[in-house]
Amino acid sequence: MNYRIFSVSLPGEKYSKKGFPCQDSSGCIEKNGIKIVVVADGHGSNDCFRSEVGSRLAVECLINSALPLLKYKDGTFSETGIKNFKYSFWMSWRNAVKQDWETRAPNDQEVRFKYISEKYKERYFTSDSTIQERYLYNAYGTTMLCAIAIENQILLLQIGDGTCIVLQKNGLFTTPVPKDDDNFLNVTTSLCEQDADTKIRHAVLDCSLQHPNCPVAVFLSSDGLDDCFANWKNEEHLFKFYKVIIDAIANDGFISVNQEIIEDVLPKMSSNGSRDDISLGYLIMNKLVLLKHTLKKIKLPQSGDEENDDN
């Protein structure tokens, strides 16, 4: 399947005014027919004082762990393969985090160091290596969302908050990744947790054009983007936002729209909305005729109305 890929992460005023680096990271890569898009959101908690490193490592480790998928010949994912991939990715992240910790001993020159709670300072600097080993990953806590497209399928993976939204060929927006009931308000599941690989949710999408649910577009967003909209019916607001993006791409092309997203759209959304770091990634089918055809089929919920009307 011929998809265009894109990702961007931008700082928000909430943290940049304190001198903090952007805690979001994102990346995308295309190699030998496989396409990968990743978005990670490092936690803003004071005790997660290296979360910007954790999110960057999540992106790097996800991409590096996914490259062996190039060996797949039949263009499909197996449940066993997905389970093994989750574990491989999570372990590579933990190893990268531990290496960073051992290479760069935490010190009071780090911009977020002074905000660490006394409870966690005791855990981070204890002489008990067992306790330190258990808690050091919290310093790098991050969420992660990704989409991996191979020949016939797209694999969606997510841990923590943020939103994965798919536009199908039949004009319907869906959220195929299973919900996580442990995500509530400012509490989210994280890569830093014990057995985090078992908490990574996933969904597999059929990419064959003949399939009515064939994904025309996949959008990945951090909660910095999600929180720019009212919590009430948040996903419906995202549907409308992504429809605008697809409409713009269908009329103006990918390059100009991507530039506008980076330079104007997302900075204004963060400034006027969440004020948080903000990330967006996408896979969008590189067929403008199909995009325009799908746009005509899109149905969006109307405010106060249970039925969908044509737009």
Q: 26-61, pLDDT tens digit by residue? A: 999 998 889 999 999 999 999 999 999 999 999 999
The reported pLDDT for the residue numbered 230 is 80
Task: Give residue 296's domain range.
Answer: 3-310
Here the CATH number for the domain that contains residue 238 is 3.60.40.10
Residue 283 CA to residue 149 CA, distance in Å, equals: 9
Q: What is the pLDDT of residue 306?
A: 39
DSSP bridge partners of 122: none
Q: Where are the beta strands (DSSP E) in 185-233?
A: 201-206, 215-221
The pairs formed by 119-124 with CB atoms below 8 angstroms and a separation of 24 or more are: 120/47
What pLDDT is attached to residue 307? 38
Residues of the chain with pLDDT under 70: 1, 69-74, 185, 302-311
- Closest listed residue to residue 282, CA positions, set 37, 60, 31: 37
User: Are 134 and 186 spatial neighbours (Cβ–Cβ below 8 Å)?
Assistant: no
Q: Would you state the pLDDT for residue 297?
A: 96
Cβ contacts of 177-182, under 8 Å, gap ≥ 24: 177/201, 177/202, 177/203, 178/203
Q: What's the confidence (pLDDT) of residue 308?
A: 37
Q: Which two tokens stand for residue 155?
A: 């694999």
For residue 51, the model assigns a pLDDT of 98
Query: What pLDDT score was predicted for residue 311?
Result: 33
In the chain, DSSP finds a helix count (H) and a strand count (E) of 10, 12
Give the number of domains in the chain.
1
Decide if 49 contacts 113 (C-beta within 8 A): yes
pLDDT for the residue 309 = 35
CB 213 within 8 A of CB 169: yes
Contacts of 34 (CB under 8 A, 6+ apart): 66, 67, 69, 70, 148, 149, 150
Helices (H), the chain: 13-16, 51-66, 79-103, 118-124, 129-135, 223-226, 234-252, 254-260, 266-272, 288-297
pLDDT tens string 208-232: 888 889 999 999 999 999 999 987 7
DSSP 184: B
